[in-house]
Amino acid sequence: MEIERKWMVNNWPPEDLGLPLLYEQFMRQGYISVRPTVRIREEAMTGGSTEYVLCFKSGAGLVRKEIEMNIPKDKFLELEDLISLPLIPKLRRTYALPDGLKLEVNHVDEGLPTEFWYAEIEYTSTEQAKGWDAASISPVLADYLNDDVTQQPNQTMGAYWIVTRLHGI
């Protein structure tokens, strides 16, 4: 189960927040299906290893079923060839929040006209997710995370895939 909130942002978090950077990953992801979501993703840890992940997700919004499994590189490449569209590149930086949660900030399609940024936080329960308030940590964080799109339609990477890869916009 994935319990996650999502915000549209304009850049990496402001430096004056002082959030420790835990790690950085360069990713490429593509979709075999978006309803239900069947996604492949290459996850290269900066200065570290690379993993290849096959993921299944249901629905959209705050709570979704999610199944992920690592696959061998050769199977990833076969699935990438099957998709036969350019995968979506994104750079993710994961920061530690003072309350023990992690803020994942993603820069998608850098340098392209469709380039954008978003942030996510995963929670352990729906109650925690619904009750979490960025302002309790910092007014600067609340200002940074002021555009919550968690429950808005078409705010998934799968929806972005349809618009930018399948329809070529």
User: Looking at residue 168, what is its pLDDT?
Assistant: 77
Three-state secondary structure call for residue 94: strand
Q: Whole domain around residue 138: which residue ranges?
A: 2-166
27, 104 contact by CB (below 8 A): no
In the chain, the number of structural domains is 1
Distance CA 93, CA 152 (A): 24
User: Looking at residue 169, what is its pLDDT?
Assistant: 60
- Name the stretches of the chain with pLDDT < 50: none
At 111-131, the pLDDT tens digits run: 999 999 999 999 999 999 999
User: Looking at residue 51, what is its pLDDT?
Assistant: 98
What the block records as the tokens of 128 is: 């925690």
User: Looking at residue 60, what is its pLDDT?
Assistant: 82
**Residue matched to tokens 């990438």:** 80
Strands (E), 35-131: 37-45, 50-57, 63-64, 66-70, 88-96, 102-108, 116-122
Q: What CATH number has the domain bearing residue 79?
A: 2.40.320.10
